[in-house]
Amino acid sequence: MNKQTRTTSGPSLAWAASIALALGSSTLSQASESPDDANGMTAYMRLDNDVFAGTDRGYSNGTEFGFVSPTIQSFQDQRLSGSTRWLNRKLAWLQPQGYEYNNMVMTLGQGIFTPSDWRLETPDPNDRPYAGVLMLGVTYNGRDENSMRSTTFNVGMVGPSAFAQETQDFVHSLVGGEDFAGWDHQLRDEPVFRLMQQRLHKRTFTKPTWMSDVIFHYGGAIGNLTTFVNAGAEVRIGGWIPDNFGSAPALPVAENTAPTIGALYSDTVRVHGFVALDVRYVAHDITLDGNTFKDSASVEREDVVADLGVGVAAHWGNWKIAFARYFRTREYRSQNGEAELGSITIRRAI
């Protein structure tokens, strides 16, 4: 295990948000749209944190900012900005074909991973390594009434340049938490990428006083960040459920960013519940396996990992909020018990 030099520059949440806003501006339509229009732009923020489950270890914190384009027929739609159409020409090989309803999503995300014992300056070699990941992403979605294809390309950095230590120290200074002692041993700097595709299919059931649907998903990812294949399903039930492909905030299934068919604006609060399951066969995870070409901490990874999420989502006006409690099986052999975390997504038409 090589000791790392601590990065001295310290970003704040405002720093991350400013980058996200710069990214999102490139997906703004050139003509203004009504916020409650089906073809309007939306923005969201997702926060994952194990503090919601009463712990502070493992996948300790994740934050993502995203901007979702209008629903379009073509990724060269004139309502997209010139820079967005240029990017779409370069990434045409990622885009779904043959769908009437499409959109794209730009994201900035950070993940923080820490071991169980935060007090050790030299971390336990059998515990999860300290790691931070900072990622940019673009997602292309295409859908019809009951099926959807989603392809995501992420690029970024793992290591001190992901600013995970600085972010955690900043947040803990605000809430009065302790500084974790072992960040000098985090994974070393390494550029990372991931190409992920998911397919989704749903069946909807409508009754006089309630609705429900079941959404099946399957797909996988390849890259030096993570490589896996996955499958699962989500069941939703309520007096009304949106015409999209899921409400669970933190599964690898397009972040609930399906192209919309019709306006979702509502003058009343509409609430529904959901249960979601995702099972993955993991061939590689850099936050567990360690750096690809450099000496670093690592643990013996479990090949099969499952997430079970239970939560509730609400729509009101141009706002949407979803919260889920997740129960995750062990990710590595020496892990002390299963993990729990919470995830919340706040989304608004803009």
Q: Where are the chain's structural domains? A: 13-349
Burial 109-146 (b: 16+ CB within 10 A, else e): bbbbbbbbebeeeebeeebbbbbbbbbbbbbbbbbeee
pLDDT score for 34: 43
Kindly state the percentage of the chain with pLDDT values over 90: 67
pLDDT score for 62: 86
Q: Residue 305 pLDDT > 50, yes or no? A: yes
Kindly state the percentage of the chain with pLDDT values over 70: 83
Model confidence at 11, in pLDDT bands (50, 70, 90)? very low
Average pLDDT over residues 47-67: 74
Q: Indicate the burial class of 159 (C-beta count within 10 angstroms; 0-12, 13-18, 19 or more).
A: buried
**Are the C-beta atoms of residues 341 and 313 closer than 8 Å to each other?**
no
pLDDT score for 96: 95
Q: Residue 327 pLDDT > 50, yes or no? A: yes
**Are the C-beta atoms of residues 241 and 213 closer than 8 Å to each other?**
yes
Instruction: Select the more confidently predicted residue: 41 or 300.
Output: 300
pLDDT score for 336: 86
pLDDT score for 151: 95
* Dist CA 257 CA 69 (whole Å): 9
Instruction: Please state the pTM of the whole predicted model.
Output: 0.88
DSSP 95-151: S--S-SEEEEEEEEEEEEEE-S-TT-SS--TTSPPPEEEEEEEEEEEEE-SSEEEEE
pLDDT score for 251: 62
pLDDT score for 201: 96
CATH of 13-349, one of 1.10.1760.20, 2.40.128.140, 3.40.50.970, 3.40.50.1000: 2.40.128.140
pLDDT score for 292: 95
pLDDT score for 224: 97
**Dihedrals φ, ψ of 93, to 5°?**
-70, -15
pLDDT score for 57: 53
